[in-house]
Chains A and B, each alone.
Chain A
Amino acid sequence: SAVISQKPSRDICQRGTSLTIQCQVDSQVTMMFWYRQQPGQSLTLIATANQGSEATYESGFVIDKFPISRPNLTFSTLTVSNMSPEDSSIYLCSVEGRGLVTNEQFFGPGTRLTVL
């Protein structure tokens, strides 16, 4: 499995500011994914980020609020813009597995964001 790191691991931010979360993988991967996990809830997919193309956002998530960059095959960033307390969540990135047939994902440790 891939080794995935995220920075920061946690942060406390003020309302109205923005935070950029970094996701680094130890090997080249085509597909990277960003999830949100609100307190006490399950994971929700925000967007899929492929290198060389615009990110694809899921229903309820927009680029202006969650801009994503994917400059190369080992790195991606997610920005949470103009934050409000409702954005307090754990944000996780994941990458595709190595299976030729199946579609397992491997997840990073997450970034715990608290917005005051």
Chain B
Amino acid sequence: DAKTTQPTSMDCAEGRAANLPCNHSTISGNEYVYWYRQIHSQGPQYIIHGLKNNETNEMASLIITEDRKSSTLILPHATLRDTAVYYCIVAAGTYKYIFGTGTRLKVLA
């Protein structure tokens, strides 16, 4: 079973920040949090990952709570092209990913 829980779907207005939450209450100390997105049944696209510090790259920001039991992916200015299914995954020392059901984000014009 997946070690993460995400809302099934979310809407976001174009130009606004999209905040996608993920619960991973059973995360282990050496497990990283990874975020991927899948646009219309293409291969998943890597977005960002983190261990305990907040991370930012050109695509998104990742905020991890101090207890590491949850995280939030932030798309600062969502566009229509950000409409996708977003997956949060925790894994450590292995490439064995267990995908949950993800969050279907719809960006509205």
> Contacts A102-B49, A104-B49 hold; do A45 and B43 have CB atoms under 8 A apart?
no
Q: What does DSSP make chain A's interface, helix, strand, loop or mixed? A: strand
Find out whether the CB atom of A103 lies under 8 angstroms from the CB atom of B32.
yes
Find out whether the CB atom of B41 lies under 8 angstroms from the CB atom of A110.
yes
For the complex, is B21 an interface residue (Cβ under 8 Å from A)?
A: no
For the complex, is B91 an interface residue (Cβ under 8 Å from A)?
A: yes
> With a CB–CB cut-off of 8 A, which chain A residues contact B92?
103
Find out whether the CB atom of B45 lies under 8 angstroms from the CB atom of A104.
no
Find out whether the CB atom of A45 lies under 8 angstroms from the CB atom of B101.
no
> Contacts A31-B95, A103-B93 hold; do A110 and B102 have CB atoms under 8 A apart?
no
Complex-state Cα separation, A109 to B45, whole angstroms: 10
> Contacts A33-B95, A42-B87, A42-B100 hold; do A104 and B34 have CB atoms under 8 A apart?
yes
Q: Please give the distance in Å from B22's CB to the nearest CB on chain A.
A: 14
Q: Please give the distance in Å from B44's CB to the nearest CB on chain A.
A: 5
For the complex, is A115 an interface residue (Cβ under 8 Å from B)?
A: no
> With a CB–CB cut-off of 8 A, which chain B residues contact A102?
32, 49
Partner of B43, one of A31, A92, A97: A92
Q: Which of A58-103 contact B (CB under 8 A)?
A: 90, 92, 94, 96-97, 102-103
Q: What does DSSP make chain B's interface, helix, strand, loop or mixed? A: loop
Q: Please give the distance in Å from A11's CB to the nearest CB on chain B.
A: 15
**Chain A residue nearest to B96 in the complex (CB):** A45
Find out whether the CB atom of A110 lies under 8 angstroms from the CB atom of B43.
yes
Complex-state Cα separation, A60 to B102, whole angstroms: 22
Complex-state Cα separation, A106 to B46, whole angstroms: 7
Q: Which of B70-102 contact A (CB under 8 A)?
A: 87, 91-102
Complex-state Cα separation, A110 to B44, whole angstroms: 9
Find out whether the CB atom of B46 lies under 8 angstroms from the CB atom of A97.
yes
Complex-state Cα separation, A3 to B109, whole angstroms: 32
> With a CB–CB cut-off of 8 A, which chain B residues contact A31?
95
Find out whether the CB atom of A43 lies under 8 angstroms from the CB atom of B49.
no
Give me the interface of A with B, judged by CB distance under 8 Å: 1, 4, 31, 33, 37, 42-45, 48, 90, 92, 94, 96-97, 102-110, 112
